[in-house]
Amino acid sequence: MKNYLLVSILFLGHLTQAQSELDWWNDAVFYEVFLRSFYDSDGDGVGDFKGLTEKLDYLNDGDPNTDTDLGITGIWLMPINPSPSYHGYDVTDYSGINPDYGTMEDFKAFLAAAHARGIKVIIDYVMNHSSAQHQWFVDSKSSASAEKRDWYRWSDTKPGYSGPWGQNVWHSSGTGYYYGIFWDQMPDLNYENADLKAAMFDHAAYWIDEIGIDGFRLDAVKYIYENGSQLEDLEATHTFFKDLSSHIKSFNPDAITVGEAWTSTSKVVPYVTDERIDFCFEFDLATSIINAARSGSISNLTDQVTNVINAYPWYQFSTFLTNHDQNRIMNELSSDIGKSKIAASIYLTLPGVPFLYYGEEVGMLGAKPDENIRRPMQWTGGRNAGFTTAGSAWNAPSSNYADNNVDKMEDDPSSLLNHYKKLIHTRNEYAALRTGDFITLDASLGGVLTYLRQLDDERVVIAINTTSSNKRFDIDFSSYASASDLPPFDHIGGESLLSVSSEGDLKGLFLSPYQTMILTFDREATVLNASSYGQFEVVPNPAHDLIRINTGTKNLVQHYQLLALNGAVVQSGVFKNEIPVEKVDNGLYLLKITMGNITHQQKIIIKH
């Protein structure tokens, strides 16, 4: 017996806002790059600007009419300044370029190539602390009367308090104790000193005004000011970022600041209000997305989405899964590709500004310590994962690179990489997915997350099955349907759902385990036939152990689903000219074959 569940629309935070009030970053999809690990152009085992420039076509080829690139429109570069460490978060020259990565001319060439493709570029600006090897600190610790002594915090005796997570924050030197919240090699800068503040503001202006970057990702924004043992989230810190934002935008009104305030939503929001930081990363929401993908339970996620939308200025938060400081999403989800797909589906269709962490789209593995979260990008299944021609890379690739790499996944229509491409290109195509209203649908479907994104007359329905079970349900869409609607088109499955639309409702929707649908109503249905795609033949019928597909084109990779008459997916995958069915039970089935936006479907009998 079929159980049909009716999805009724609940107005949980049904919000509206003029699109004109949103800025360019709400239309962007960002990609976080650790340059050391992205691509090595000169064979020294370390990634560089020339390597990143070579790979820009993978990220965005500059042609909006193609869908073979990833489709991102923004790049965040982790620190590119000179630094004694591999990660770069202890800077020795805020206006310089790390020589491991190339020269300033190499960076400018990359920046021009990115801008030519419509890609915005932001860089990490580490304002909370410098390297202990920075000349400012070398001078500061030289004596109690040093010129730059007050550019850092000093005490003659060790204060009797620890840091927010119980760590030592006061470090001994020959001239006293200095404050450093993260590490003794990262002394905190003292913004009570006006000269230090002016110097850091000047460096920011240099990158915006002279070099031409599009903004900054601001590291560790919670810790800029301290008051005795009060070490985070001070009002002086909030005011500081209003000053910084005003300074940066005086050189480029469109320049952005993105804040890392790794704390609860309620404590992050003040950083985004009152013209301070443009938007911040939403860590609580990321945790809720991962938990929903891991468990198949969506109630906490829907609550957090509503909380976030209502808490921030309109959509001024970043959605993401994990970053360079956290175990990679494939580790969090136990290498489950299905769960990884739905995690991506959720955050790339929600409001906010999405950020991917490099390699996430091919399922790279990585767990603490941090070096293992930042391994080389997996381009191929060959030596060093195709990252470098050197005998060895600065760090070994992840253990799954032979199967999880760009070269292999690009040829598989059902791969995680191609799932990301579909999600990003669909988001780029439909403004409703980027800046439209968010209308939550009934979340009582036992793990099916459904919502509507709407902007003016453009409507996109998202349905995501977070469970390992098949789900069949209806959506009452009559309040949003239009007489001019075409049959709903699923941008993930690549087919028109000709049979599910009836008088404004969506009837008999079916989701297999971990399946996503993104439905729009503006696309003509295209069915594969002899006139639209040459000769087409499925033989034999009845089939025994093998189905042969003749399309008139040899070795064309296609995607298929073999469905039972109740809609359950019995078998699916990719093929060129043959589909093995020796393990399928005897019976009558529906065979669906998809090539891009072209779909052929017919009934077939299997009889062994």
More confident residue, 488 or 1: 488
For residue 58, pLDDT over 70 is answered with yes
Q: Which residues contact 183 (CB under 8 A, 6 or more apart)?
A: 90
Beta-strand ranges (E) seen in 112-201 are: 120-125, 154-155, 170-173, 176-179
For residue 531, pLDDT over 70 is answered with no
Which tokens belong to 258?
Answer: 């993105």
Q: Looking at residue 7, what is its pLDDT?
A: 37
pLDDT tens digit string along 317-343?
999 999 999 999 999 999 999 999 999
Query: Around 310, how many Cα atoms within 13 Å sit in the side-chain half-sphere?
Result: 12
Least-confidence region, from 52-56, 151-155, 466-470: 466-470
Buried b (16+ CB within 10 A) or exposed e, 113-152: bbeebebbbbbbbbbbbbbbebebbeebbeeeebebbebb
Q: Which of 188, 260, 332, 495 is catalytic?
A: 260
Buried b (16+ CB within 10 A) or exposed e, 421-431: bbbbbbbbbbb
Identify the DSSP state of 414.
T
CATH classification code of 25-130+193-429: 3.20.20.80
What DSSP line would sit under 499-555, residue for residue? TSEETTEEEEEEE-TT-EEEEES-----B--HHHHS--EEE-SSBSSEEEEE-SSTT
Fold of 530-606: Immunoglobulin-like (2.60.40)
* Same fold across 5-9+435-520 and 530-606: yes
Q: Which of 219, 232, 233, 437 is catalytic?
A: 219
Q: Looking at residue 10, what is its pLDDT?
A: 38
Q: What is the mean pLDDT of the chain?
A: 90
Q: Looking at residue 477, what is its pLDDT?
A: 77
Burial class of residue 523 (count of CB atoms within 10 Å of its CB; 0-12, 13-18, 19+): middle
More confident residue, 54 or 493: 54
260 catalytic, yes or no?
Answer: yes
Q: 453 near 462, Cβ under 8 Å?
A: yes
For the segment 250-261, the average pLDDT, to the nearest whole number, is 98
Beta-strand ranges (E) seen in 58-197 are: 74-77, 120-125, 154-155, 170-173, 176-179
- What is the rounded CA–CA span in Å between residue 150 and residue 129? 14
Classify the phi-psi angles of 286: left when phi > 0, otherwise alpha if psi is within -120 to 50, otherwise beta.
alpha
The H or E element spanning position 428 is helix 416-429
Buried b (16+ CB within 10 A) or exposed e, 455-484: beeebbbbbbbbbeebbbbbbbbeebbeee
- What is the rounded CA–CA span in Å between residue 540 and residue 548? 7
Fold of 5-9+435-520: Immunoglobulin-like (2.60.40)
- What is the rounded CA–CA span in Å between residue 214 and residue 48? 20
The angle at the Cα of 541, spanning 536 to 543, to the nearest 5 degrees, equals 115
Predicted confidence band of residue 507 (pLDDT cuts 50, 70, 90): confident
| Helix, strand, coil share (%) of the chain residues, nearest 5 | 30, 25, 50
Residue type, 12: L
Does residue 334 sit in helix, strand or coil?
Answer: coil
The angle at the Cα of 288, spanning 285 to 290, to the nearest 5 degrees, equals 110
Query: Around 538, how many Cα atoms within 13 Å sit in the side-chain half-sphere?
Result: 21
- What is the rounded CA–CA span in Å between residue 180 and residue 130? 10
Q: Measuring CA to CA, which residue among 317, 381, 384 is closest to residue 351?
A: 317
Distances, alpha carbon 604 to alpha carbons 365, 570, 590, 592, in Å? 40, 13, 6, 10
Residue boundaries of the structural domains of the chain: 5-9+435-520, 25-130+193-429, 135-179, 530-606
Least-confidence region, from 87-91, 96-100, 446-450: 446-450
For the segment 206-222, the average pLDDT, to the nearest whole number, is 98
Kindly report the length of the chain: 608
Query: Around 328, how many Cα atoms within 13 Å sit in the side-chain half-sphere?
Result: 28
Q: Which residues contact 106 (CB under 8 A, 6 or more apart)?
A: 48, 49, 50, 53, 97
For residue 21, pLDDT over 80 is answered with no
Buried b (16+ CB within 10 A) or exposed e, 259-276: bbbbbebeebbbbbeeeb
Q: 450 near 302, Cβ under 8 Å?
A: no
The H or E element spanning position 559 is strand 558-563
The H or E element spanning position 332 is helix 329-332
Q: Which residues contact 304 (CB under 8 A, 6 or more apart)?
A: 265, 284, 285, 288
Predicted confidence band of residue 554 (pLDDT cuts 50, 70, 90): very low
**Phi then psi dihedrals of residue 266, to 5 deg:** -60, -30
The H or E element spanning position 434 is helix 431-435
Does residue 362 sit in helix, strand or coil?
Answer: helix
Which tokens belong to 290?
Answer: 């991962």
Q: Looking at residue 500, what is its pLDDT?
A: 63
pLDDT above 90: percentage of residues in the chain = 74
For residue 20, pLDDT over 90 is answered with no
More confident residue, 277 or 580: 277
Does residue 491 sit in helix, strand or coil?
Answer: coil
**Helix ranges, 445-518 (H):** none
Q: Which residues contact 383 (CB under 8 A, 6 or more apart)?
A: none
Q: Measuring CA to CA, which residue among 110, 95, 112, 127 is closest to residue 47?
A: 110
Least-confidence region, from 13-27, 83-97, 475-489, 506-520: 13-27
Does residue 353 sit in helix, strand or coil?
Answer: strand
